[in-house]
Amino acid sequence: MAVRSAAGQLAGELRETIEGEVRFDAGSRALYATDLSIYRQVPIGVVVPRTVEDVVATVAVCRRHGAPILARGCGSSLVGQTTNVAVVIDFSKFLNRIVELDPDRRLARVEPGVICDQLRDAAEEHRLTFGPDPATHRYCTLGGMIGNNSCGVHSVMAGRTADNIEELDVLTHDGVRLRVGRTDDAELERLASAGGRPGEIYRGLRDLRDRYGGLVREKYPDIPRRVSGYNLDELLPERGFNVARALVGTESTCALVLEATVRLVPSPRHRTLAVVAYHDQFAAADDVLAILEHGPIGLEAVDETVTRNMLEADLLADDVALYPPGGAWLLAEFGADSESEAIDRARGLEAALTKRNGGASTVEIVSDGEGQRRIWAVREAAIGASRIPGKLETWPSFEDAAVPPERLGGYLRDFTKLLGRHGLPCVFFGHYGQGCVHARIGFDLKSEPGVRTFLRFLDEATDLVLSYGGSLSGEHGDGQAHAHHLVKMFGPDLMEAMRAFKRLWDPDWKMNPGKVIDAYAPDENLRDGPDYHPPALNTYFSFREDGSSFARAAARCFGVGKCRSLAGAMCPSFQATREEMHTTRGRAHLLFELLKGDPLDGGWHDAHVKEALDLCLACKACKAECPVNVDMATYKAEFLAHYYEDRRRPAAAYTFGRLDRWAHLAERAPDLTNLFARLPGARKTLGIAPERTLPRFARETFRAWFERRGPRGDGAPVLLWPDTFNDHFRPRTASAAVEVLEAAGFRVQLPRARVCCGRPLYDYGMLSLARRYLERTLAVLRDELRTEMPVVVLEPSCAAVFRDELPNLLPDDEDARRLAAQTHLLAGFLREHAPEFAPSELGGRAVLHGHCHQNALFGLDADQELLGRLVELDSPETGCCGMAGSFGYARENYAVSVACAERVLLPAVRAAPEALVVTDGFSCREQIEQLAGRPTMHLAEVLRAALSGTP
Ligand SMILES: Cc1cc2nc3c(=O)[nH]c(=O)nc-3n(C[C@H](O)[C@H](O)[C@H](O)COP(=O)(O)OP(=O)(O)OC[C@H]3O[C@@H](n4cnc5c(N)ncnc54)[C@H](O)[C@@H]3O)c2cc1C
């Protein structure tokens, strides 16, 4: 209690002092309690500085209060360095500007929150690049890369992050701000003779160099990937006494980086990939040196333990199919100024390997950009694919050791034997060109005996790496997992030197304490160790894929952070707000924390969790794009169902949630209902944003039209689902679908009674009602389902209910299984059941936008194929439109909704003023029409236009 009250005072003073955000509430602390590691420590609070001055002021206040601090970028670290009982300073939201990019001097000045690809994209405009590119390059930050001394595929070409840092602007906990870099002797003498703390630091560094230089030369392994330990070697005279590079890799334990000047290197204009397939990874490792002689700019490995998992988890299966047959692959990338030169280099390698290995390896040369991108996608997704929820749980900790590349084959053989002795499964991949092995090991961290095995294994594995002259970390840093064994690598004297180095920068031991130096033991602070026993909860959804356990579902996320990417469909609200709580990861962590119960103590009624879920658009992109298929839309609906168990929902829930009921009433007096919905009082009660226009009920519903007209033809019967949106608001779409289906040779019929899938109910967690809607639907459709009649659904979000929510709510119902399997979207149905259906070409252009649920569960291929035959088609990666049912209508969501649409979709629509805008989603159509003022068409309408020859 006293501790929290001290924290309260600290927070109060911070709020008075800085412009940025100060968050010491339980939700924010829970949110930042874990990274990608096996560890969890709840921070004191979180600060999100707006400016460098904010950082300086934050540190000053923390100093006065004796509070430890910890910097954070995107939090994708794997060994525990980004979690601590400290004040977390998150640089990613505001301090993310490229201050200057000087192509002539090949230098850039960046703030620490700049994303790796942000810099690489900017540099690429000048045919330059920032060399180190971790697999997380789409979202990891430069501050984090500097903190960890990160590396990547192109470290073969350009080295580690340390090798690419020219200068750093740093700040210590006791308030010293220095610009550090390479320091010649005269400068060093000048700086060392200065007074105060700066002079003390330089004198201390000089003494360390003089005292330990010999030992550093003797004991630091001379390998490309020595990342463990502090970079004391950078203080050696032959390295130019480079204080900036010495601080790289210190993982927030010495100083904060406020700005960095980084080196850029030429980026080859053309790249070609040689994919070399081997029988196993040992044979692959034995070839590394031979391949390096050909000068690749990247040399990576993927083992079959990765690709097997991907196939089992149905992750990137099409891309895995591009790999030639084999049990392990080396990906050798060649760069040159001309395409032919790059290909020639790859061919040179192919010839040499054929001569060297005979038929023991096969080489496939991939020179087209898209093919290369897909091959790399498999390698980059390897960490995500190291887990299959419910089947294989692997963990980071001993997973990035590096040995001399020439000894890699022997090391891997011995390492595999060691795993076998402990009975541990492992997934392998890595930067084999630099001797760095990623080994994701299936430790049992949930039981005491499992943890004992973990510790024994770490002990023996570190011995093994060191016997090969390697480094415990070749990439991810020491954090907590490796720190304990550093003494074996460096010996007690060098550990003392590192301790002295830290003390110079951080005399009060307040920078990320307990990490790297004098660290917690590898089995302390385990996130879900033997003492984690989450409660078994009654849930509405069955969560069968997670052993019928909500706790297991919530623990699916292990922190990869792909949802922090600013491209792709996942987490549209994060892309708009840059808030961790609006990522799939943040939300999943909060649900995990809800079960943990401390500091979050509100259970299903927790306001912090509710807040984080409020901006989830339930787009289901995570279900498709997240490497472990976290299904946040389902978790959100489940949470809301409990949250509202004993309280009233907002008025909108009873209107939008039960739209089908209102639509039924409106049928009798559509004009009156439209008028009523426009009354300011009604809009206010429903919380509608003033900028929004509510869709108008049509005078005649689709069903009424169909009843008047009746079915036609005698083809195979197909059931057309009259979803509420198209039935009541856009009946033209459904009537177009009838004509298209008839033209394709089918006889259309509608359900015998009024039905609704209940899609909007999920947005408000009305799950008991949703189940009743589904039971009624199954009762009405039973006969048709049992004759295997296909069900065509025009609205993707309704089709998604049948494919996704239905089997999860009624897992044992055979008819539910039938409906899930028999549900089609129009394009998919025509492709499967009428492949010969070919309306005549329309001509002109069209922009196609896929509804999120369509993208996540059905894919867009069939639509692209069909439309591609009729028009010149542009199908940009538009992500979520931002409307998402009633989400975008709500006053409080309007800004985020517009930001989502303005990211890619609306610019793409505006850039093609003559094009048809095609999308099947009712919400997407409303969003585009309201914000871009452009009419939209459902695929059914485009097909009908093609049939009649009039666009
Ligand atoms: C799927 C996956 C693949 C990965 N692949 C690679 C890979 O190929 N190569 C690789 O090297 N790593 C890899 N990593 C690890 C990680 O992504 C990298 O180390 C990355 O550079 C960390 O960046 P971040 O922004 O997430 O940093 P964070 O995790 O937030 O921070 C990393 C460290 O830097 C410190 N730090 C952050 N900002 C500052 C600052 N301003 N001043 C001082 N210290 C700071 C933090 O305190 C922490 O100690 C991978 C991780 C994942 C999840």
The H-or-E segment that residue 759 falls in is helix 759-763
CB of 152 within 6 A of ligand 1: the answer is: yes
Residues forming a β-bridge with 180: 168
Collapsing DSSP states into helix, strand and coil, what is residue 910? helix
pTM value is 0.94
CB of 164 within 6 A of ligand 1: the answer is: no
Number of CB atoms found within 10 A of residue 261's CB: 20
Tokens 């690419």 — which residue? Answer: 164
Residue 122 CA to ligand 1 centre (angstroms) = 21
Ligand 1 atom nearest the C-alpha of 95 is 41
Q: What is d(CA 34, CA 574) in angstroms, rounded to the nearest whole number?
A: 18
CB of 767 within 6 A of ligand 1: the answer is: no
**Alpha carbon nearest to ligand 1 atom 27, residue:** 144
Which candidate, 198, 770, 210, 266, places its Cα nearest to that of 541? 770
**Alpha carbon nearest to ligand 1 atom 37, residue:** 144
Q: Ligand 1 pocket: which of 72, 81, 331, 584 to mutate (most atoms <8 Å of CB)?
A: 72
Residue 119 CA to ligand 1 centre (angstroms) = 16
CB of 140 within 6 A of ligand 1: the answer is: yes
Angle at 595 between CA 593 and CA 598, to 5 degrees: 55
pLDDT the model gives residue 2: 67
Residue 798 CA to ligand 1 centre (angstroms) = 40
Residues whose CB falls within 8 Å of the CB of residue 121, separated by 6 or more in sequence, listed in order? none
Question: pLDDT per residue over 389-418, tens digit each?
Answer: 878 889 999 999 999 999 999 999 999 999
CB of 516 within 6 A of ligand 1: the answer is: no
Write the DSSP symbol of residue 599.
Answer: S
Q: What is d(CA 783, CA 269) in angstroms, rounded to the nearest whole number?
A: 62
> Which amino acid is residue 503, in one-letter code?
R
Ligand 1 atom nearest the C-alpha of 146 is 34
pLDDT the model gives residue 769: 97
CB of 136 within 6 A of ligand 1: the answer is: yes
Collapsing DSSP states into helix, strand and coil, what is residue 428? strand
pLDDT the model gives residue 674: 85
CB of 137 within 6 A of ligand 1: the answer is: no
Residue 79 CA to ligand 1 centre (angstroms) = 10
CA distances from 280 to 330, 417, 758 (A): 11, 15, 51
pLDDT the model gives residue 87: 98
CB of 135 within 6 A of ligand 1: the answer is: yes
Do 846 and 949 touch, CB atoms closer than 8 A? Answer: no
Residue 460 CA to ligand 1 centre (angstroms) = 27
Q: What is d(CA 462, CA 366) in angstroms, rounded to the nearest whole number?
A: 38
**Alpha carbon nearest to ligand 1 atom 21, residue:** 145
Residue 39 CA to ligand 1 centre (angstroms) = 15
The H-or-E segment that residue 276 falls in is strand 270-278
pLDDT the model gives residue 77: 97
Residue 302 CA to ligand 1 centre (angstroms) = 22
pLDDT the model gives residue 682: 83
E strand map for 159-243? 165-171, 177-181
Question: What is the SS3 string spanning 631-695?
Answer: CHHHHHHHHHHHHCCCCCCCHHHHHCCCHHHHHHHHCCCHHHHHHHHCCHHHHHHHCECCCCCCC
**What is the DSSP code string of 465-514?**
HHHTT-BS-SSS--TTTTGGGHHHHHHHHHHHHHHHHHHHH-TT--BSTT
Q: What is d(CA 44, CA 26) in angstroms, rounded to the nearest whole number?
A: 10
pLDDT the model gives residue 392: 85
Question: pLDDT per residue over 276-332, tens digit each?
Answer: 999 999 999 999 999 999 999 999 999 999 999 999 988 899 999 999 999 999 999
Residues of the chain with pLDDT under 70: 1-2, 950-951
Ligand 1 atom nearest the C-alpha of 144 is 27
Tokens 């700040």 — which residue? Answer: 171
pLDDT the model gives residue 655: 86
Do 258 and 171 touch, CB atoms closer than 8 A? Answer: yes
CB of 122 within 6 A of ligand 1: the answer is: no
Q: What is d(CA 534, CA 269) in angstroms, rounded to the nearest whole number?
A: 53
Q: Left if phi > 0, otherwise alpha if psi is -120 to 50, otherwise beta: which for 80?
A: left
**Alpha carbon nearest to ligand 1 atom 39, residue:** 143
Angle at 198 between CA 194 and CA 200, to 5 degrees: 80
Ligand 1 atom nearest the C-alpha of 560 is 53
Do 870 and 841 touch, CB atoms closer than 8 A? Answer: yes
Number of CB atoms found within 10 A of residue 560's CB: 24
> What b-and-e string marks burial along 712-729, b requiring 16 or more CB atoms within 10 Å of the CB?
eeeeeebbbbbbbbbbbb
CB of 75 within 6 A of ligand 1: the answer is: yes
Average pLDDT, the chain: 96
Residue 526 CA to ligand 1 centre (angstroms) = 20
CB of 475 within 6 A of ligand 1: the answer is: yes
Residue 848 CA to ligand 1 centre (angstroms) = 37
CB of 771 within 6 A of ligand 1: the answer is: no
pLDDT the model gives residue 950: 63
pLDDT the model gives residue 359: 83
